[in-house]
Structures are given as structure tokens and as C-alpha cells.
Amino acid sequence: MHPQRKQRLLIILFVLAGIGIAVGLMLYALKENINLFYTPTQMANGEVPADRLVRAGGLVVVGSLQRDPNSLLATFKVTDGVAEVTIQYSGILPDLFREGQGIVAMGKLNAQGVFIASEVLAKHDEKYMPPEVTHALEQAHKDGKQDLESARD
């Protein structure tokens, strides 16, 4: 390679590497701010300031959803597998909201450790499949359980 071209190439690569490292360090320093939501573990550890508008995210605990019969108030728990936090929300939940689904809620943590949400968003995972497949999976799951139970009897 022509020495002049080689020099130009090296300069560009060095500049790119330098800026890359700078951006990398910046993003690392801002890690907490770039995260969209706090996990229930972070809330349990007291990393979340009380009475400040933040986002909380996690999976809705199966069997935890309670709806108030006289209003739109819904109470449910979310988990990240380690800790759980109770969320209260008054409003229309998104279509994809179900138990076991990932959600992100915006709101404030009150003194009792209950998260009062003003907005609930459903988080979608990376899996896509036709309804028959999920049906078959559920069926297989049930059959497996029955087999287990009958084996136990």
C-alpha cells in the first residue's frame, strides 16, 4: 500500500477507535439513565427514589391480578424472578396485558412500597407463533401433568 494512503487509513482508524472508546465510556457511565425501567430487585434494594416519577418493569406474577369490581383499579405484582413489587393502576390496561406477560409501568413508589402507576405498557417478547402452536404446547403441558399425576397415583 502507498505510504500516504496507509497513513490516512491509520489516522482514520485511530480517530474512530478513540471516539469509539469515548462513546463507550460515556454510555457505561450513563448506564442507569439509559435503562428504561427499574427491576423489582432494584426497588427492593432501595435503589429507587421514593415519590419520583420512574418506570418499573417485570413479569406479571400469575394469579396476582385483582380487579376492583366498582372501578378500573387493578392491583398486580411484577417479578424479575428474584423480588416482587406490587403495582396499582387505575385505567385501561393494554390489550396484551395478561398474567405472565412482561410490562413496563410509569409511576411513583409510595412509602408503603406500593408502586402507583399512571401508565402501563405491555412489553412484547421476541417470540412469534401461530395460535395452534401455543394451543398444542399448552395441551402437551397439561397432558404431561396428567401423566405425572396418574403416575403418582
Partner 1 sequence: MWNYLKRLYHKMGSPKWFYDISNKWLPWLIGVGCLLMGVGLVWGLAYAPADYLQGNSFRIIYIHVPAAIVAQSCYMLMAVAGLVAMVWRMKIAFWVMRAAAPIGVSVTAIALFTGAIWGKPTWGTWWVWDARLTSMLILLFLYFGVIALYNAIEDDELANKAGAILSIVGVINIPIIKYSVEWWNTLHQPATITLTKKPTMAPEMFIPLVLTIVGFYCWFAVWLILRTQNEILWRERRTKWVQQVTNHVL
Q: Tell me which residues in 12-71 interact with partner 1 (CB under 8 A).
A: 12, 15-16, 19-20, 23, 27, 31, 34-37, 39, 57
CB of 4 to partner 1, least distance (A): 9
Distance CA 3, CA 94 (A): 62
Among 70, 112, 131, 152, binds partner 1 (CB under 8 A): 131
Q: Which residues contact 60 (CB under 8 A, 6 or more apart)?
A: 76, 77, 78, 97, 98, 99, 100, 101, 102, 103
**Are 109 and 115 spatial neighbours (Cβ–Cβ below 8 Å)?**
yes
104 contributes a contact to partner 1 by CB under 8 A: yes
Among 53, 62, 96, 140, binds partner 1 (CB under 8 A): 96
**Are 104 and 112 spatial neighbours (Cβ–Cβ below 8 Å)?**
no
Residue number with CB closer to partner 1 (128 or 149): 128
Phi, psi of 149 (to 5 degrees): -65, -45
CB of 16 to partner 1, least distance (A): 6
CB of 123 to partner 1, least distance (A): 6
Residue number with CB closer to partner 1 (82 or 133): 133
Residue labelled with grid coordinates 387505575:
90
Distance CA 22, CA 26 (A): 6
CB of 29 to partner 1, least distance (A): 13
* Coil, helix or strand at residue 104: strand
Using CB under 8 A, list all residues that contact partner 1.
5, 8-9, 12, 15-16, 19-20, 23, 27, 31, 34-37, 39, 57, 94-96, 104, 119-134
